Each structure stands twice: as structure tokens, then as C-alpha cells.
Amino acid sequence: MYREAAVAMCVEDADTICAVSTPPGEGGIGIIRISGPEARVIFDKIFRPKNRNLENYHPARLYLGHIIDPADSRQIDEVLAVFMPAPGTYTREDIAEIHSHGGFAVQKAILAVIVNEGARLARPGEFTKRAFMNGRLDLIQAESVLDVIRSATDEELRYALSYLKGDLSKKMGSFREILKGLLAEAEASIDFPEEDINIDLFGHLQPLEKMQNEIDGLISSYYEGKGLKQGYEVLIAGRANVGKSSLLNALLSQERAIVTDLPGTTRDLIEEAVCLDGIKVRLIDTAGIGTPQNAVEEEGIRRVKQKASEADLIIWVLDGSQPYKNEDEDVFNTIKPYNYIVVKNKLDITQIFNDNTLISKNINEWLEISAKERIGLEALKSILLSALTKGGRSSGGLLITTVRHRDILMKVSANITAVIRGLNAGMHIELAAFELREALHHLGEITGETCTEEILGDIFSRFCIGK
């Protein structure tokens, strides 16, 4: 088996597994996959090609035929089927795929005969887990399979495909090579002190520092990576009646939230997703902040305040046609610890808002818009994007998109910091070797070389059945 320290192969990993790999429900076709040592035997028993003279299937070629129940030779469905021998397959095991009609009863009946012939139903992500266990993919690549499936934007897909190809794995591999080189020298000098091996630890400082910078860059790219994958959360906050719901509707170009001239129209959080220039944004309209008139408003305001601390950005909406009010001050006090931008709404009617109120709070930039007349919305979108992506987006470089990778890289970074500091301060070589081993162990957790069954179970359980 490929993984050196990975999990011991369990008995169930030797089973032949099967699952419907297409989504449940009705479809033109549905694909059933069988993988494992018995795949060929089962396939031969249940598939009858139309051309009965066929003695040998050509691998990876589709054949027209029927799935039959070997017990009574009853035909279950007319299908196209393919057999792919190991090791040139997704799981590196023998795989058979049956392209049947995509209906619930048909697929259930086909699965039943496959199970009758000795296969068992696959668990979520089990095909990909086998691809990982058999060395076809490392763990980063296995995780990106799920990312490809779940990608909602072109950019997200581009990253997922690049990591499936191995771009992030290669970077981790290059880190490992540097660490291994240094560790080998350190261990040699520990093991053979009498040989007086002169290791040039300082010669390693520069590559270590360069690697440290790269790792820290990757750790901080997580903000952008998370935004790319999960989207950013933008809260629309303000006192009652300033036009928060009107702004939500204008940004969505649909009448999602109720708008009335009565203060207190919105009571709960109203969330809707939009895609701004390829970036997923979840806009959240809120209840007006101020003195609650009843228990419902009180709960609404509690929810806004809680969300304010979680959101990536807040749009503070003011009403340009009104003076600054005590409730506006309540809003300001709620949002000021967080990341916010200021928008003055109702530009289309007479403006009496005194800008000095904002300037006295050291707020020198705001945008004047009319949600009702759709004025200033494009400018608002571009300000939103630049505030969310902190001014810039990486141009195709590597990004950390999962919290798992970020957390592990933080541990690696701490080990490398200890080594660099130690080398500068004359640290004992055994301690440096300890930190290097730890760093290598952590890097192995990212790619899967040193991963526990628990972590693997957690990762693959997020997959769908059949993948």
C-alpha cells in the first residue's frame, strides 16, 4: 500500500463496493459503479452484451446489453456498460460502470442484483477514499474532488481543478524536501558525533526563512480562500426606515424583502446570495436598530447585533433626507468595532443630513446612493468587492481554502519559527531535529501521509455516496 504511516488497511477496504454515482431521482441515464476485486466476476454474471460472440471485453469500452438477474435470467434494464481493469482506474481497483436508465426503481433493482452477487453498498466518499488509500490521489487532491463537485463559480472551479491536478500538493512537497534535507543533516550529526560532521545550519537559514514567508503568505490567503469557497457575509444595518430592504432588493434586482414606509417592517434576518464579479456574497437584510417597541423587535435587534460580530462586512445605511438621530448613534455603537462602509441613501430627494456628524467620528468616506432610483449601485458594488477582498485578489497564485489546511500550516509555521530562532540562538541540534520532525509530521497531515483514521473519516464523510 502507498501510504507509509497511514491507516492500516481494514478488512472492509478489501470488499467490493457499489453505488449509484449520479444524483437520485429521474434522469435520462443513471450510473452505477462497482469497484473492488470481485467487480469483474459480478459484472460478468449480471451483464449480457447484445453481441453474444464477444469473448473479451475491451477495457474502457462501452457495450450495449442487458442487466439480468442471474437467479432467473430476468432482464432488468437495457444499458451501456464498461469494465475497466486495475490499476488504471479511479480507485486503482477493477471498476465496472453501468449506465442504466435514470429511475429510482431501475437503479434500485440493479443495485439489488449487484449486492446479491456479493458487493456491498459504498459509504459516502468511499470510491475517493480508495483512490487515496491506493495512492491515486493524495489527501489534498481527494478533498479537491469534493470542491470540484461543489464549485459554484468559475474561479472556485479553477482552484479546485488546480488542486486536483496537484498544484498545492507540489508546494507542500517542496516544503517537505527542504525540511527533510535539513533533518537528514541534523540527524547525521546526532548519530555520528565522533565523525565531526560539520553541518552548515546557517546555510539552511535562508531557505527556511523563505519557506516561512511562503507559509505565512498561505496562512493569510485563507481569508480570500474562504471567501472564494463559502462566500462573504455582508450585513445591511441601520435604523428603521432608512432603506435597508430597498437596498437589498436593488442589489439583488428582485423584490426579495418587504418594503413599506412603516418603520419596523423587517423583523428578522433576510439572507440572499448574489455573485459579484465572480465572488459569492451573502447579503443579509436586518431589522432596524433602535429602541425596541416590543418583544419581536427586541429579538430582531439581538439577532442583528450577533450577526454584526460574525459578518465579513457591514453596510451602514443612513438616510440622507433626515438628520442624524439617536438610533443612528445606536447603530454606530453596534458596528464600530467591525469592518463597515457607510452609505447615505435617498439621494433622489432633498438632502438635509449634516455630514459633519460623520466627519466628527473620523469617517471621511461614504457613498451617496438611491436604492429606490438605483443610483450609485455600481459604485457600491465595486466598493463592496474591494472592501471584501481587502483591495486585491491573488492572480491565480495558491490559496488556502480550507480551515484544516490553514490550521496545520500554522503549526508548521510555529515549528519553523522555533528552528530559525533556535539556530540563531545556538539551540541544541537535537531540539532543532525535534521541531523539524514535528513540522514534517504536520505537513504529512495535509497531504495524508501521516493522517489518522479519524481525520480521514471526517473528510470522506462529507462526500456524497457514489463519489
Ligand X SMILES: Nc1nc2c(ncn2[C@@H]2O[C@H](COP(=O)(O)OP(=O)(O)OP(=O)(O)O)[C@@H](O)[C@H]2O)c(=O)[nH]1
**Positions that interact with ligand X (CB under 6 A):** 238, 240-246, 259-261, 263-266, 288, 345-346, 348-349, 370-372
Q: Are 212 and 281 in contact (CB under 8 A)?
A: no
Which residues share a beta bridge with 318? 344
Q: How far is the CB of 356 from ligand X (least distance, A)?
A: 22
Q: What angle do CA 177, 180, 183 make, to 5 degrees?
A: 155
Region binding Mg ion by CB under 5 A among candidate stretches 48-56, 149-157, 261-269, 367-375:
261-269
| Binding residue (CB under 5 A) for Mg ion from 141, 151, 245, 415 | 245
Q: How far is the CB of 410 from ligand X (least distance, A)?
A: 41
Give the nearer residue to Mg ion in terms of CB position, either 67 or 259. 259
Q: Which 3 state secondary structure label does DSSP give 15?
A: coil
265 binds Mg ion (CB under 5 A): yes
Q: Are 16 and 36 in contact (CB under 8 A)?
A: yes
Q: How far is the CB of 288 from Mg ion (least distance, A)?
A: 7
Q: Are 283 and 257 in contact (CB under 8 A)?
A: no
- Rg of the chain's alpha carbons, rounded to an integer? 30
- Residue identified by cell 457514489 is 466
C-alpha cell at 320: 440622507
Per CB under 5 A, contacts with Mg ion among 322-341 are: none
Give the nearer residue to ligand X in terms of CB position, either 72 or 261. 261
Q: Which 3 state secondary structure label does DSSP give 130?
A: helix
Residue 444 binds which entry of Mg ion, ligand X, none, CB below 5-8 Å type-dependent = none
In 223-324, beta strands by DSSP E: 232-238, 270-276, 279-285, 313-319
Q: How far is the CB of 318 from ligand X (least distance, A)?
A: 10
Give the nearer residue to ligand X in terms of CB position, either 265 or 389. 265
Residue 371 binds which entry of ligand X, Mg ion, none, CB below 5-8 Å type-dependent = ligand X
Give the nearer residue to ligand X in terms of CB position, either 75 or 293. 293
Q: How far is the CB of 372 from ligand X (least distance, A)?
A: 3
* 103 vs 25: CA distance, rounded Å: 6
Residue 349 binds which entry of Mg ion, ligand X, none, CB below 5-8 Å type-dependent = ligand X
Residue 462, φ and ψ in degrees, nearest 5: -80, -10
Give the nearer residue to ligand X in terms of CB position, either 301 or 399. 301
266 binds Mg ion (CB under 5 A): yes
Q: Are 238 and 316 in contact (CB under 8 A)?
A: yes
Q: Which residues of the shown chain bind Mg ion in the complex (CB under 5 A)? A: 244-245, 265-266
